[in-house]
Amino acid sequence: MRMDNQEESRNVEDVRGSGFRPAHGIGLGTVAVALIAGWIFGVNPLTVLGLLSGGSAPSVQSVPDSNAPPPPAGDAQAQFVSQVLRSTEVVWTRAFMEVGRTYEEPKLVLFRDAYPTACGLGEAAAGPFYCPNDRHVYLDLTFFDLMTQQLGAPGQFAHAYVVGHEVGHHVQNLLGVLGDDPSARGQTGAGGRSVRVELQADCFAGVWANRSQQEQGWRLESGDIESALNAASQIGDDTLQRRSQGTVVPDSFTHGTSAQRVEWFKRGFQAGRIDACDTFGAGRL
């Protein structure tokens, strides 16, 4: 994808130099177990990291004052993320206006290894995540290396899809989806609420991709959509389960199958509308 000269967001905070480090170490084995538990078995990866490291499940942390600086000039990867975030801000501001609502922009925090959040201790091993309590997206840029080297999902647009998906959770938060029944969000299974929440975020990422290139002038290049669809496919519950344990257990799904994630991203991309993403009224997924 080409985002030459695109505007950058003012809502990116860089805490990579904050010096914060967790009290315990995190090895690659811990990372793998946490990711598998979070993506497959419906267990909060932050909880798994605490238990595997000999601690208790993390509670809400004391969050530092929000005076973090923007990323430094010349950081190409951070600049790209900032441009993608800005494009989501423009798209969702207009999309919300169309339905008579006001969009409130989220913050995106770049961190390294671990950082305290209003949802608990955020650790890179959990992957990118959205915290509804402080309305921040948290991202360790090394996750993009993981996507390329271990998950088989390379490409800039695949990386942009990740940002679009997490911002999709912020859209859900503003629309009241995440707050409808907090106790039900963790309900797993092929047609459970957790899967519907994640598939809707995939669909919202598709809505952003459709509208952003039309409204802001950046263009998709050959293979971009395929890279996003591949990323969605590589992190489907069935693909991750098959890769890790050799079998598929639909009752433990939290994010949806590869085919479902691809399908709902495509629905959002083809329609470009919020109302195309009603995973909760879709009956069978």
Q: Directed axis angle between helix 224-234 and helix 156-175, to 10°?
A: 70
Distance CA 151, CA 234 (A): 6
Residues of the chain with pLDDT under 50: 23-34, 36-37, 39-61, 181-186, 188-190, 235-253
Q: So what's the pLDDT on residue 30?
A: 41
Q: What is the pLDDT of residue 91?
A: 95
* Global model pTM greater than 0.85: no
pLDDT of res. 233? 54
Give tens-digit pLDDT for 159-186.
888 899 999 999 999 999 987 544 344 4
